[in-house]
Chains A and B, each alone.
Chain A
């Protein structure tokens, strides 16, 4: 049982390049999330998917797109990377979203992205 896995672990991009961060979970969770972590700012939610087939914007969605490929996988795409997107990106999953669900989130190890 690997939990939440993310690839790649590290990535360096030039301004304007595109890339996709991959995330997969093997816990049969319904909900998945993408966060970015910047010094002194905690974690900020980029996008989330409450269930397969749905996605919603979080606090900082600009410059990103997501795809919930199936129940296991949730990818984050940067179409034209900017230096402001230099950050550590975390994927997370939970059994359910919403007030009636189990709301513990399980996190992947993160992707450290640098945009030059």
Chain B
């Protein structure tokens, strides 16, 4: 079945550092891929998405590229801020499915 694996946290970085959170997936066909973010005390919000191979999703300085050859959708940001501290979830929806499958989440903490 479909599944998502993302790097375990917590990840702690200093402000202005470069961020990468790894995500790989297993799916048949051509899934859509997502990154969701959960700020403390809130529900999840869509951060970015990509619906086909080689697409790049981007939002708020974050980027992720849909790599079918490596079945990956790594999240990157060039210079993180304290306000980026949150839990980040990689997710996919299969090409014939109505449900989204979430990874286990990666907690990110940014030091001033």
Query: In the complex the two chains form, what is the Cα distance from A109 to B46 in whole Å?
Result: 14
**Set of chain B residues within 8 Å of A103, measured between Cβ atoms:** 32, 93, 100
Q: Check B96 against A99 for contact (C-beta < 8 Å).
A: yes
Query: In the complex the two chains form, what is the Cα distance from A4 to B45 in whole Å?
Result: 12
User: In the complex where A48-B98, A98-B98, A103-B32 touch, is A43 in contact with B44 (Cβ < 8 A)?
Assistant: yes
Of the 9-residue stretches B14-22, B66-74, B75-83, B101-109, which lies at the interface with chain A?
Answer: B101-109
Mostly, the A contact residues are loop
Q: How many residues of B are in contact with the other chain, CB < 8 A? A: 20
Query: In the complex the two chains form, what is the Cα distance from A44 to B96 in whole Å?
Result: 19
Q: Check B105 against A42 for contact (C-beta < 8 Å).
A: yes
Mostly, the B contact residues are loop
**Set of chain B residues within 8 Å of A4, measured between Cβ atoms:** 43
Q: Check B99 against A45 for contact (C-beta < 8 Å).
A: yes
Q: How extensive is the interface on chain A, given as a class?
A: 20 to 34
**Set of chain B residues within 8 Å of A31, measured between Cβ atoms:** 98
Query: In the complex the two chains form, what is the Cα distance from A106 to B43 in whole Å?
Result: 9
**Set of chain B residues within 8 Å of A48, measured between Cβ atoms:** 98-99
Give min CB distance, B3 to chain A, whole Å.
Answer: 11
Q: Check B43 against A99 for contact (C-beta < 8 Å).
A: no
**Set of chain A residues within 8 Å of B96, measured between Cβ atoms:** 99
A40 contacts B by Cβ under 8 Å? yes
Query: In the complex the two chains form, what is the Cα distance from A104 to B93 in whole Å?
Result: 10
Query: In the complex the two chains form, what is the Cα distance from A108 to B42 in whole Å?
Result: 8
A74 contacts B by Cβ under 8 Å? no
Interface residues of A in 3-34 (CB under 8 A from B): 4, 31, 33
Q: Check A42 against B97 for contact (C-beta < 8 Å).
A: no
- Highest count of chain A CB atoms <10 Å: which of B45, B95, B98: B98
What string of 1s and 0s marks CB contacts (under 8 Å) between A48-72 and chain B? 1010000000100000000000000
Q: Check B98 against A107 for contact (C-beta < 8 Å).
A: no
Kindly list the 7 A-B residue pairs having the minimum CB-CB distance in the complex, ordered from nearest.
Answer: A107-B43, A97-B98, A42-B104, A43-B102, A42-B102, A107-B44, A98-B98
Interface residue ranges, A against B (CB under 8 Å): 4, 31, 33, 40-45, 48, 50, 58, 90, 92, 97-99, 101, 103-110
